[in-house]
Each structure stands twice: as C-alpha cells, then as structure tokens.
C-alpha cells in the first residue's frame, strides 16, 4: 500500500474515533436526563444539602414558635338544636324521648323550649405580648362561661391557667384573652401578610383534635379568599383570607400561621372539609395585617367603629356590566331610609365603581373600603348612572352592631353581657328586620315586618340569657307586644316598661308574646318570676 493509501486509511480511523466519542457523549447526556435515571454524585450532594438546609429551617422555626403557642379550653352554655316544630315530621317522634323535649304541647301548638346545656371546646392561640395577652378566634371563645389556657413556655407544665376574655370582634373572627402569671412569657411578632407570596413556605401550629404542639408545613396556595362562615348570617364574611395546604383541623382555630422567619402572617380560622371529613389540604387564615389593626384596639378596650353607608348592594354579572356600560362595580339595590346614604345624591340602581379613586370590583371591595374608614368621614364615590359617570360625596355613619356580629350597639372591647338587658331578654325593632335576620332568628320576615303578623308595633327577641328566668318561656323570634299590659312600640319602651316591672311590688312580670304558628299569628300571655 502506498503512502497515499495509508493516509486515507488513517483518516478513516480518525473519523470513526471522533464519531464514537460524539455518540458516547450524547448517550451519556441522554442517560443523565432521562426520567428514572440516577443523578450524578455532585447533583445528589447538592440536592441533599438543599433538603438538609430546608429541614434545618423548619426545625429552627418550630423551636422558636412552639413555646409561644397555647391551648385554649372553653366551657360555654349552648342551646339544644332546633325545636320540634322546626324539624321534619319523621324526626320528631325520635327526639320526643329526650328530656329537653318532654312535656305536653300547648293548645296553640307551641313546643317546649330547648333547655340550656354545657358545651366544651378546645382551640389554639398565640402569645401577643409578654404580659399575657393572647390572640385567638372569636368563635373559639364565643358564649364562654369559663376559659383556661395551657402554656408551653416551661417543660412539663400542664397547668390550666384561668383566662379572661378581653374583647372579641366577630366581624373579623378575632379575639384576645388574658392570663396573669408571675413571669414574662415568650411572644410572637406579627409579620406582613400583604408581602406574602403564593407558594411561600408557611407553618401552622396549634392543637388539632387536642393534639397539642402540633406543627404542619405547607405553602401559601392562594390569597384573597372570601368565606361566609355562617350561611344564616350573610352580614358576616371573612375576606382577604390566606389559603394554605398546611394541614388545619378542628382545634387549630386561633393558632398562628408563621413564615420561615417565625413571624405570624396569619391566624388559622377554617378548613375545607366536605361532609366534615377533616382536612383535605385547603385551610384558611386571617391575614396578619387585619390582626395588626384589630388586636391593639381589643386590648385597649377601644370601640371598633366602622364606617357604614346604609345601602344594599349586589355583584354584577358580565351581562349586567355590559347593560350598565361599566367594566366593574356593584349595583345599589336599595337605600336605608335612615342610613347615611339617604342624605346624599346616591340612588337605587346606581353602579359604584370606585371609592376615593380606588376601583371597586365586587361587593367585598366596597364593604371593605367603607368598613375600614371611620364614622363621620366623608368619602367620594364614583358612580355610573344612565351610563354617565359622576362623583357623589357621602358622610359615613357607624356600622350597626348586628352587621358586626354583635347583639347590640355596645361594640367596645369586653363584650356587653346580656344581663344588661332586662331579665337577659335582648330585642331589636321590627322596623330593622330583613329576610336574612329573620332566617337567623328562625322566623319568616320581610323588610321591616314579620310575615303573618299584621301589627307593626312590638320588638323582636334576638336572644335570651340561658340562666334567665325567662329562658323557658321566651323564645328567639318572639314579638313582645306588651309588658304588663302596656303596648311596646320601641326598644327603649321595652327597657323602660321592663325596668318599672322589675322595680315594682309584684314578684312577676307578664309579657304578651306573638308568634306565627302554621301561618297564624298567636299571642300568649306568659308570667316570668322576678
């Protein structure tokens, strides 16, 4: 073979070797990237270090937070479930066997009142200040007759320390309780919920199912959620909630949701559970920014006064937006005659699109924008009427207590006890009734009237203190028409007549109570021992 042949042969060998190297590199790269293939030692080491670092962060946060998380034990008095007359027929005979339903029915068909019974519950909370102020949910301590707290700042201390409910705010479902101990307590700091990002790591701490000092970890799965915790009370909605997949269950309520800095970014309040099966990976927390506004006011015993327009509103569908010529906003359904907006140029069927220049997308936006302002403040509403935009100024009033989830207009820190009502019977004017309030009270109502009762005088019973001598004879939803034979035309009239009866020489007071039974208004005269 000549030199030219040898050169050609060597050249062919070089090409084969180069191709083999390239194919080997490609196969090796492909093997490293295919699913199911093991990573390189360097990559595995990096992943291990990353997981170890995250684990270290979780344990550090848990060690920092756990001593400041408490268990809250509550004893309360609650009414038995609904009366027989409200139950389906197939269930009535079964429930008649129980003591609280025993006794003959009256000729008017009324059933005996459910008797009070004790209720026990467990929730969570976290220490807000070193001197013993603790934040929890309002629903945890609702109707509480006794509250105790188990602290975790000392090992093996299972003492149940007596606690006092300092204040509650049902509208945000926040409450503050206080324990007095002879030491400074570890506390947690509030962080910023506004700066919290979706997919950020968070940790929920509390006592789910009474398993104290339980830590669950997850991420923020969404923000700005809206819930109506009690469907019978549409006035109370929890908004701007943080959604998380950190497991939250019964008993977690009131406990903190913290970030990786150990700051409280939310207060655990609810979880999604079809058919009450338990947590399914969707929990909710009140944002820390809400707590930073409300908690100091509760501690100081200040009145949580909120702005109020006095209007009924509804959301717009896409078709209605097109019909009214707007891109967003809420429709004014009605205006209260005695509400703040009645003195303004606002009209029914107006579309409110902004408050002080801030866009209003839905009813929650408007409610929040107004409620977060002070009474007597004048606000400018951007309104579209007949497809023409205009500016309307309204001087805000103060939100009535019923819209804040309270029984009366005393919204200062410590909740006003029902003993301040004569014989523990709390009432409201018939003129303020709405279908929603009627549903909550167990009666059929329309705007300003009880369906089936022609007389417009009297007051409606909204609650009865369970330990009151009236508890067995007066029922929520009853209309008090007379006190000792005197017509009742207002709440003040009721208070005056009741007080005179209490201070009188008789040892009892007679109330004429009207109730609708089978579509017919029936009035009973009941005597109550003083």
- Which among 124, 193, 247, 253 is annotated as catalytic? 253
Classify residue 267 by burial, with Cβ atoms within 10 Å: 0-12, 13-18, 19+: buried
Contacts of residues 259-263 at CB distance under 8 Å and 24 or more positions apart, as own/partner, are 259/191, 259/196, 259/200, 259/201, 259/202, 259/203, 260/57, 260/61, 260/201, 260/203, 261/61, 261/191, 262/61, 262/64, 262/65, 262/188, 262/189, 263/188, 263/189, 263/190, 263/191, 263/288
More confident residue, 193 or 448: 193
pLDDT at 524: 87
- Which among 173, 245, 365, 408 is annotated as catalytic? 173
Q: What one-character-per-residue DSSP string does 146-210 give?
A: EEEEE--SSTT---EEEEEEEEEETTTTEEEEEE--SS------B--STT--TT-EEEEEE-GGG
Contacts of residues 146-151 at CB distance under 8 Å and 24 or more positions apart, as own/partner, are 146/74, 146/75, 147/72, 147/73, 147/74, 147/75, 147/177, 148/72, 148/73, 149/70, 149/71, 149/72, 149/73, 149/125, 149/177, 149/179, 150/70, 150/71, 150/73, 150/212, 151/70, 151/179, 151/181, 151/185
**Known active-site residue 13:** no
Q: Taken in order 42, 48, 52, 55, is the CA torsion positive or negative?
A: positive
Tell whether the model's pLDDT for residue 523 goes beyond 60: yes
- Which among 139, 152, 169, 408 is annotated as catalytic? 139
- What are the strands, taking DSSP E only, across 245-356? 256-258, 264-271, 283-287, 307-308, 311-315, 330-335, 351-355
Instruction: Please state, rounded to an integer, the average pLDDT across all residues of the chain.
Output: 82
Do the beta carbons of residue 254 and residue 206 sit within 8 Å? yes
- Mean pLDDT for the stretch of residues 151-164: 93
pLDDT at 3: 54
pLDDT at 22: 59
What are the pLDDT digits (tens) for 405-430? 765 443 333 333 334 789 989 998 88
pLDDT at 40: 58
Tell whether the model's pLDDT for residue 203 goes beyond 90: yes
Q: How many helices (H) and strands (E) does the chain have?
A: 8, 28
pLDDT at 417: 38
Tell whether the model's pLDDT for residue 78 goes beyond 60: no
**Known active-site residue 245:** no
pLDDT at 465: 82
What are the pLDDT digits (tens) for 474-505? 988 899 999 999 999 888 889 999 999 999 98
More confident residue, 233 or 145: 145
- Report residue 134's pLDDT band, with 50, 70 and 90 as the boundaries: very high
**Which of 180-189, 196-205, 278-287 is the least confident region?**
278-287
Q: Is 58 helix (H, G, I), strand (E, B) or coil?
A: helix
- Report residue 83's pLDDT band, with 50, 70 and 90 as the boundaries: very low
More confident residue, 275 or 51: 51
- Mean pLDDT for the stretch of residues 183-204: 95
What are the pLDDT digits (tens) for 262-283? 999 999 998 876 545 555 678 9
- Report residue 332's pLDDT band, with 50, 70 and 90 as the boundaries: very high
What are the pLDDT digits (tens) for 424-459? 899 988 888 888 788 778 888 888 888 888 766 789
Tell whether the model's pLDDT for residue 152 goes beyond 90: yes
pLDDT at 454: 74
pLDDT at 70: 97
- Mean pLDDT for the stretch of residues 286-293: 95
pLDDT at 232: 52
The model carries a pTM of: 0.63
> Which positions ≥6 away from 249 have C-beta within 8 Å?
208, 209, 271, 278, 279
What percent of the chain has a predicted confidence (pLDDT) above 90? 51
- Report residue 358's pLDDT band, with 50, 70 and 90 as the boundaries: very high
pLDDT at 119: 66
Tell whether the model's pLDDT for residue 311 goes beyond 60: yes
pLDDT at 487: 92
**Known active-site residue 253:** yes
């Amino acid at each position: 073979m000549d030199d030219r042949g040898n050169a050609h042969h060597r050249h062919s060998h070089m090409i084969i070797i180069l191709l083999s190297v390239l194919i080997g590199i490609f196969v090796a790269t492909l093997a490293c990237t295919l699913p199911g293939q093991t990573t390189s030692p360097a990559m595995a080491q990096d992943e291990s270090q990353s997981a170890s670092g995250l684990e270290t962060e979780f344990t550090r946060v848990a060690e920092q937070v756990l001593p400041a998380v408490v268990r809250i034990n509550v004893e309360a008095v609650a009414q038995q479930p609904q009366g027989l007359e409200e139950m389906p027929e197939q269930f009535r005979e079964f429930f008649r066997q129980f003591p609280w339903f025993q006794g003959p029915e009256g000729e008017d068909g009324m059933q005996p009142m459910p008797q009070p019974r004790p209720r026990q519950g467990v929730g969570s909370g976290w220490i807000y200040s070193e001197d013993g102020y603790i934040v929890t949910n309002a629903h945890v301590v609702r109707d509480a007759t006794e509250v105790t707290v188990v602290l975790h700042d000392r090992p093996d201390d299972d003492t149940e320390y007596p606690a006092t409910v300092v204040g509650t705010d049902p509208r945000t479902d926040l409450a503050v309780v206080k324990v007095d101990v002879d030491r400074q307590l570890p506390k947690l700091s509030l962080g910023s919920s506004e700066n919290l990002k979706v997919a950020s790591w968070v940790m929920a701490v509390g006592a789910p199912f009474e398993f104290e000092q339980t830590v669950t970890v997850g991420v923020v799965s969404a923000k700005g959620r809206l819930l109506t915790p009690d469907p019978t009370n549409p006035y109370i909605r929890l908004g701007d909630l943080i959604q998380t997949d950190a497991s939250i269950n019964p008993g977690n309520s009131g406990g903190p949701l913290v970030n990786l800095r150990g700051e409280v970014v939310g207060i655990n309040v609810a979880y999604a559970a079809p058919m009450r099966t338990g947590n399914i990976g969707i929990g909710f927390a009140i944002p820390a920014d809400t707590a930073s506004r409300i908690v100091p006011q509760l501690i100081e015993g200040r009145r949580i006064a909120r702005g109020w327009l006095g209007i009924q509103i509804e959301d717009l569908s896409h078709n209605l937006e097109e019909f009214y010529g707007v891109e967003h906003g809420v429709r004014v359904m009605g205006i209260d005659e005695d509400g703040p907006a009645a003195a303004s140029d606002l009209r029914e069927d107006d579309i409110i699109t902004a408050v002080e220049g801030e866009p209003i997308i839905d009813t929650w936006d408007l409610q929040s924008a107004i409620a977060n302002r002070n009474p007597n403040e004048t606000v400018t509403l951007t309104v579209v009427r007949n497809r023409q935009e205009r500016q309307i100024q309204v001087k805000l009033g103060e939100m009535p207590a019923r819209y804040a989830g309270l029984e009366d207009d005393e919204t200062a820190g410590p909740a006003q006890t029902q003993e301040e009502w004569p014989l523990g019977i709390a009432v409201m004017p018939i003129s303020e009734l709405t279908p929603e309030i009627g549903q909550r009270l167990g009666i059929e109502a329309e705007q300003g009237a009880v369906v089936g009762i022609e007389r417009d005088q009297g007051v409606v019973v909204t609650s009865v203190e369970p330990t009151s001598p009236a508890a067995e004879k007066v029922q929520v939803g009853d209309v008090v028409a007379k006190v000792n034979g005197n017509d009742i035309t207002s709440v003040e009239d009721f208070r005056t007549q009741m007080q005179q009866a209490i201070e009188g020489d008789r040892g009892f007071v007679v109330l004429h109570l009207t109730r609708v039974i089978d579509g017919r208004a029936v009035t009973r005269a009941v005597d109550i021992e003083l």
